[in-house]
Structure 1
Amino acid sequence: MSAAATDLDLLLLAIAAMPTPWKKWPGGYPDRLDLALVDAVMSIRFRYGRERKDGSWTGARGAVLRYQKHSEDITGAEKMKHLANHDPVALERILNRQKVHSGKTKAFAIVEAAKRFTAIGVTELAHVRPHDPEHRHQYTGVSGLGPVTWEYFTMLLSHEGVKADTWLTEFVGRAVRRPVLSEFAGSLVKEAAETLGAKQNELDHAIWSFASTTRLKSMPEIP
Structure 2
Amino acid sequence: MTSETKSFFVLWNGSDDTMPRDERESLIDATANGLAEPGSWSFGRGYGDPERGDRVYLLRTGNDRGLIGSATIVEDGVYEDHHWSGEGVAYYVELLWDVMLDDEDRIPTDVLDAALPEQHFPVQASGTRIKEPSAADLAELWEQHLSDLSRRIGNPWLGGRPTTVERPSGPIPLQRSHVRHYDVTGFAGGSAARAEAEAVERLAEFLRQSGAEPNGYRMVPGPGHAPLLADLYDRTNNVLYEAKASSSREAVRMALGQLMDYRRFVIEDPELAVLLPDRPSTDLVELLAEHRVRCVVPTSSGTFEDIEPAPSTDEGRLVAACRNLGDPAHWFRPLRYRDGLALAIIDSIQSTGAHYTSVRNVLDRYRAVRGEAAATDGTEELLETFDAAGGADQWATTIGNRKPASTRAGASLKATVIEQVARALTAVGVRTAEDLRDAVADRGDGGERYARVENAWTSVEAQSSGITWNYALMLIGIPGVKADRMVLKFVSDALGRTVTATEAAALVSGAASSMGVDVIDLDHAMWRFASGRPVEDPSEQR
| Bin of the TM-score, shorter chain as denominator length | 0.7 to 0.9
**How far does the alpha carbon of each residue in 1:87-143 deviate from its partner, in whole angstroms, 9 at most, with x for none?**
101210111010112320000000001011111221111101234111111111101
Compared CA separation, residues 214 and 79, structure 1 to 2 (3 A) = closer
**1:213 alignment partner, SS class:** coil
1:82 counterpart letter in structure 2: E
- Contact 2:341/2:432 (8 A) holds in 1: yes
Q: Does 1:24 align with 2:332?
A: yes
Paired with 1:62 and 1:144, the residues of 2 have a C-alpha distance of: 22
Residues 19, 92 of structure 1: alpha-carbon distance in 2 compared, 3 angstrom cutoff: same
**AA aligned opposite 2:370:** S
Q: What is aligned with 1:164?
A: 483
Partner of 2:519: 200
Quickly say closer, same or farther: Cα 1:164–1:135, change in 2 above 3 A.
same
| 1:36-185 matched pairs, under 5 angstroms | 36-49=344-357, 59-72=358-371, 79-85=378-384, 86=386, 87-93=391-397, 94-101=399-406, 102=409, 103-128=411-436, 129-130=439-440, 131=443, 132-145=450-463, 146-185=465-504
Gaps of 5+ in 1: 50-58, 216-223
1:56 aligns to what?
A: none
Structure 1 segments of 4+ aligned residues over 4 angstroms from their partners: 1-4, 73-79
Partner-residue secondary structure (3-state), 1:29: coil
Q: Distance in 2 between matches of 1:13 and 1:77?
A: 39
Shift in alpha-carbon separation, 1:114–1:181, aligned structure 2, 3 A = same
CA distance in 1, matches of 2:346, 2:392: 12
Task: Answer 1 or 2: which has greater strand percent.
Answer: 2
TM-score of the pair, normalised by structure 2: 0.36
* Maintained 8 Å contact 1:23/1:209: no
Alpha carbons of structure 1 residues 7 and 110: separation in structure 2 relative to 1, 3 Å: same
Shift of 1:76: 8.3
| 1:23 shift after superposition | 2.6
**Aligned mates of 1:75, 1:201 — CA distance in 2:** 23
> Cα distance, 1:83 vs. partner?
2.3
Distance change >3 Å, CA 212–CA 76, structure 1 → 2 = closer
Amino acid corresponding to residue 112 of structure 1 in structure 2: Q
Residue 5 of structure 1 aligns with an amino acid whose one-letter code is S
Superposition TM-score, scaled by structure 1 size: 0.84
In structure 2, the CA distance between the partners of 1:73 and 1:8, relative to structure 1 (3 Å rule), is: closer
Q: For residues 80 and 183 of structure 1, do their structure 2 counterparts lie closer, same or farther at Cα, with a shift above 3 Å needed?
A: same
Residue 200 of structure 1 and its aligned partner are, at CA, apart by 0.5
Displacement of 1:18: 2.5
Whole-angstrom CA distance in 2 between matches of 1:72 and 1:20: 36
Of the candidates 304, 310, 316, which is equivalent to residue 9 of structure 1? 316
* Inter-partner Cα distance in structure 1 for 2:371 and 2:311: 56
C-alpha distance in structure 2 between counterparts of 1:140 and 1:121, whole Å = 16
- Report the alpha carbon displacement of residue 74 of structure 1 after superposing the two structures with TM: 6.2
Q: Distance in 1 between matches of 2:339 and 2:376?
A: 10
Aligned equivalents of 2:353, 2:404: Cα separation in 1: 10
Q: Residue in 1 aligned with 2:343?
A: 35
| Contact 1:77-1:123 within 8 A present in 2 as well | no
Higher relative contact order (CA 8 A, sep 6+): 1
Tell me the secondary structure at the aligned position of residue 158 of structure 1: coil
How far is the alpha carbon of 1:174 from its aligned partner? Answer: 1.1
Aligned residues: 206
Indicate the structure with greater helix content: 1
Q: What is the SS of the residue equivalent to 1:99?
A: coil
- 2:491 is equivalent to residue 187 of structure 1: no
SS at match of 1:62: helix
RMSD: 2.3
5+ residue gaps, structure 2: 1-281, 283-308, 444-449, 535-542
SS of aligned partner of 1:163:
coil
**How far did residue 20 of structure 1 move?**
3.1
- Cα distance change, pair 83–188 in 1 and its aligned pair in 2 (3 A): same
Letter in 2 for 1:81: E
> What is the DSSP-based 3-state SS (H/G/I as helix, E as strand, rest coil) of the residue aligned with 2:405?
strand
SS at match of 2:483: coil
